[in-house]
């Protein structure tokens, strides 16, 4: 805390991981001797830079850009870029720290990183987005590369922004290097099924967890927060597997549709850009809009998937979900539940799929995009989807087995942290004191 003052989200993420590792450290004194914990919480490199750009009125605007290259024990730095006004050192470090473990769980050769800027894309024109993104990449291009650091999208950064960044990188580096970014358009080196991967992967993980506990997605009622990339494809896969999704949201509030959310309308609203989720009610007058970010958690459901942002489920929301009979919670977003909310779920024996395991599908398919780029081949949608499904099942199995080994049966928070930590720390120890 003294080294990282005012970095609450980072401290929260570290606290959760370290608490899980107590039994591992007791069994393996070599980790303490090697100061693995002290090393793993310290980024290998943290870059922060000025991003000047010109808005449509001709005014010069300045934002702050970041890239934290947290850990390269397992492979090149890998992690998304977030454009959101709340981005700061703490947010980027918490996301980068989580990314180390998530990436380890995928079994792919990728290290952990994260980046972004405190830029608010809302209400910006396409040319403003392009100018900002180009300025951001002009500086970032000094620190990334296909074998060094491979960014991707996150909140506020989708295929359009990745495209602009890719174009600018090419211009800065004098040539096409497919492997420098993932989440690219399929027409120029992107992987099929990448845009679906995080949402689909979260549902595959949930499916494995439910089946292992004698339950099923089919016939269940689900609520999914957010209405962005992760949320939309989580809703799509839930529906394909026979669930009825009755609510989703954005930062204004949530829509409740007893008939089941019409995904085509949500997709259209989001594709139109600058559209808000309350506009759904204009198309489906029987649906209801509730104002406020946490309203969605008061809607009774069997399955809850927080897929919007960090700390969106607090203790009160967790208790409300339980009172309404929720059976399983799966984190599609990064750290969407507060530490206290997670404790409430665990104490009440709710099946709980933690983010770093449940939402690892996105980065797992990003690693497959890197592999396809290196080999100059393109796999079919079904082939990528099959590999994603397999990876999510393996992550579930590894996390369950690690929890079992340390006497915390069915505690996937502990299991995922331990399974990932063991892989990263083994590689760090093999590579000496670096």
Binding residues for substrate: 78, 99, 102, 153, 366
Q: In whole angstroms, how close is the CB of 132 to ligand NDP at the nearest point? A: 16
Choosing from 65, 76, 153, 415, the residue that interacts with ligand NDP (CB under 6 A) is 153
| 402: three-class secondary structure by DSSP | helix
Residues facing 254 on adjacent strands: 249, 290
Choosing from 72, 106, 220, 229, the residue that interacts with ligand NDP (CB under 6 A) is 229
Q: In whole angstroms, how close is the CB of 272 to ligand NDP at the nearest point? A: 12
Q: In whole angstroms, how close is the CB of 144 to ligand NDP at the nearest point? A: 18
Looking at the Cβ atoms of 28 and 389, the one nearer to ligand NDP is 389
Looking at the Cβ atoms of 105 and 215, the one nearer to ligand NDP is 105
User: How far is 203 from 288, CA to CA, in rounded Å?
Assistant: 25
Residues facing 351 on adjacent strands: 328
Q: In whole angstroms, how close is the CB of 193 to ligand NDP at the nearest point? A: 12
| x-marked contacts with ligand NDP along 279-318 as a string, rule CB under 6 A | --------------x-------------xxx--x------
**Residues 163 to 202: which contact ligand NDP by CB under 6 A?**
198
**Per-residue DSSP letters for 96-139?**
HHHHHHHHHHTTSS--EEEEEES---TT--HHHHHHHHHHHHHH
Say which DSSP state 349 is in.
Answer: T
User: Which of the stretches 38-46, 56-64, 172-180, 219-227 binds ligand NDP when contact is defined by CB under 6 A?
Assistant: 219-227
User: How far is 21 from 241, CA to CA, in rounded Å?
Assistant: 35
Residue 142 CB neighbour total at 10 angstroms: 11
Looking at the Cβ atoms of 154 and 207, the one nearer to ligand NDP is 154
Give the residue numbers annotated as catalytic, written as ranges. Answer: 114
Strands 60-71 and 45-54: antiparallel
228 binds ligand NDP, rule: CB under 6 A: yes
Q: In whole angstroms, how close is the CB of 221 to ligand NDP at the nearest point? A: 20
362 binds ligand NDP, rule: CB under 6 A: yes
Q: 64, 135 in Cβ contact below 8 A?
A: no
333 binds ligand NDP, rule: CB under 6 A: yes
Q: Where are the beta strands (DSSP E) in 261-385?
A: 288-291, 303-305, 328-330, 351-353
Q: Please, is 259 exposed, middle or buried when counting C-beta atoms within 10 Å of its C-beta (0-12, 13-18, 19+)?
A: exposed
Annotated binding site: 78, 99, 102, 153, 198, 229, 366
Looking at the Cβ atoms of 308 and 357, the one nearer to ligand NDP is 308
Q: At what angle do helices 229-240 and 194-212 cross, to 10 degrees?
A: 50
Kindly list the strands in the beta sheet with 112-117, ordered across the sheet, starting from the edge strand earlier in the chain.
Answer: 45-54, 60-71, 112-117, 77-83, 149-152
Looking at the Cβ atoms of 31 and 289, the one nearer to ligand NDP is 289
225 binds ligand NDP, rule: CB under 6 A: yes
Q: Which residues bind ligand NDP (CB under 6 A)?
A: 153-156, 198, 225-231, 249-251, 293, 307-309, 312, 332-334, 359, 362
């Amino acid at each position: 805390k003294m080294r990282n003052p005012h970095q609450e989200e980072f401290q929260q993420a570290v606290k959760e991981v370290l608490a899980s590792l107590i039994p591992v450290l007791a069994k393996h004194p070599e980790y303490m001797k090697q100061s693995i914990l002290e090393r793993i919480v310290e980024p290998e490199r943290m870059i922060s830079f000025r991003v000047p750009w010109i808005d449509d009125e001709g005014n010069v605007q300045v934002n702050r850009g970041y890239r934290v290259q947290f850990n390269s024990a397992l492979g090149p730095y890998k992690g998304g870029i977030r454009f959101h006004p709340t981005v700061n050192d703490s947010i980027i470090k918490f996301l980068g720290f989580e990314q180390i473990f998530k990436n380890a769980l995928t079994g792919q050769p990728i290290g952990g990183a994260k980046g972004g800027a405190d830029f608010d894309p809302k209400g910006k024109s396409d040319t403003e987005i392009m100018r900002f993104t180009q300025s951001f990449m002009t500086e970032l291009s000094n620190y990334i590369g296909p074998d060094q650091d491979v960014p991707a999208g996150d909140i506020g950064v989708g295929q359009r922004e990745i495209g602009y960044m890719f174009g600018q990188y090419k211009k800065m580096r004098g040539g096409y290097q497919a492997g420098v970014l993932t989440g690219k358009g399929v027409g120029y080196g992107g992987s099929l099924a990448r845009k679906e991967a995080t949402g689909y992967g979260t549902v595959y993980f949930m499916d494995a967890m439910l089946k292992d506990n004698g339950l099923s997605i089919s016939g269940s009622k689900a609520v999914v927060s957010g209405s962005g990339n992760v949320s939309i494809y989580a809703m799509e896969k839930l529906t394909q597997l026979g669930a009825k999704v009755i609510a989703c949201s954005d930062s204004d509030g949530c829509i409740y549709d007893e008939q089941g959310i019409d995904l085509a309308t949500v997709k259209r609203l989001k594709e139109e850009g600058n559209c808000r989720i309350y506009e759904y009610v204009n198309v489906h007058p029987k649906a209801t809009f509730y104002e406020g970010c946490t309203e969605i958690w008061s809607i009774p459901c069997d399955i809850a998937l927080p897929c919007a942002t960090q700390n969106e489920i607090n203790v009160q929301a967790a208790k409300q979900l339980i009172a309404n009979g929720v059976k399983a919670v799966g984190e599609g977003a990064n750290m969407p539940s507060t530490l206290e909310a997670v404790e409430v779920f665990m104490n009440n024996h709710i099946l709980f799929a933690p983010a770093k395991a449940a939402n690892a599908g996105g980065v797992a398919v990003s690693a497959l995009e890197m592999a396809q780029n290196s080999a100059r081949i393109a796999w079919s949608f079904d082939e990528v989807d099959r590999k994603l499904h397999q990876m999510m099942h393996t992550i579930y199995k590894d996390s369950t087995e690690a929890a079992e080994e340390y006497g915390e049966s069915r505690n996937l928070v502990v299991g995922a942290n331990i399974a990932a930590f063991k892989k990263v720390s083994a590689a760090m120890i093999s590579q000496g004191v670096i």
